[in-house]
A = this chain, B = another copy of it.
Amino acid sequence: MSKKVKINAAILIIGNEILSGRTQDTNTSTLASWLNSIGVQVGEVRVIPDIEKEIIDTVNLLRKKYNYVFTTGGIGPTHDDITASSISKAFGLSYEIHKEAFKILEEYYKPGEFTEGRQKMTWMPSKANLILNPTSGAPGFNIENVFCLPGVPSILKSMLGGLKHKIIGGEPIKSLTISLRTVESEIASSLAKVQENNDDVEIGSYPFFHAGKLGVSIVIRSDDQSKIDICNTQILEFVNKKNIEVVNR
């Protein structure tokens, strides 16, 4: 069997509106779920303000540490949209009109409506590759392993399909959830033993409260289904022994 390649990524959310609590970020879970499904494990998420130096420093750190970096936010037409210019500086590239992006938006808008503000959205690092936007025209872009996406969740989601062929993932990460009618402390020591016996599998325990009843979801994650199955068997063994009800699977 060939050695499995682990591919990882960082997500960088750029935007004061998340740090002020005004906006609830949902792009992290959208991107993380999608990345996991194509075999890319998210190692870290950071949320930083719309400050040039922070964007430059963070991008330069993360792009060396991870196979991929996905940024969201800051690529619109207003003064606080500084992601594209900051990324240009991070890579030491000039910040200029992207001809293909210009052509796309020129055709997208009605004559006379392709204003200066909208033209700003075609300014990118030189040599950027476009990520097409089927929702609202203005493309995202990537430079090397850094992919810049918009902050509006519905637009971001619509761009993932066109992005998929640019990402080379590893073995998709599989997961199995076992939901139990119990509390965490009841199963903690037995579950810890299963984790010890299977230290290359990620086993998480998450309490839930649903329809007036407490429960615990155990999540087993690995890129190897047979390892998940082994943990599942070991967990069901102690669950049966303790007479704990399995709620669903």
Contacts and interface: CB of A to CB of B under 8 A. Distances in A.
Interface residues of A, number: 63
A162 B188 CA distance: 28
Contact of A79 (B26, B28, B36, B192): B192
A175 interface: yes
A28 B25 contact: yes
Interface in A45-94: 45-50, 76-80
A217 to B, nearest CB: 9
Stoichiometry (number of copies): 2
A49 B43 contact: yes
A80 B20 contact: no
A59 B171 CA distance: 31
Given A17-B204, A19-B41, A115-B186, 7 more contacts: A20-B173, A20-B221, A21-B33, A21-B34, A28-B47, A79-B192, A117-B186
Interface of A: 13, 16-26, 28-36, 41-50, 76-80, 115-118, 120, 152, 154, 173, 175, 184-189, 191-192, 195, 202-207, 209, 219, 221
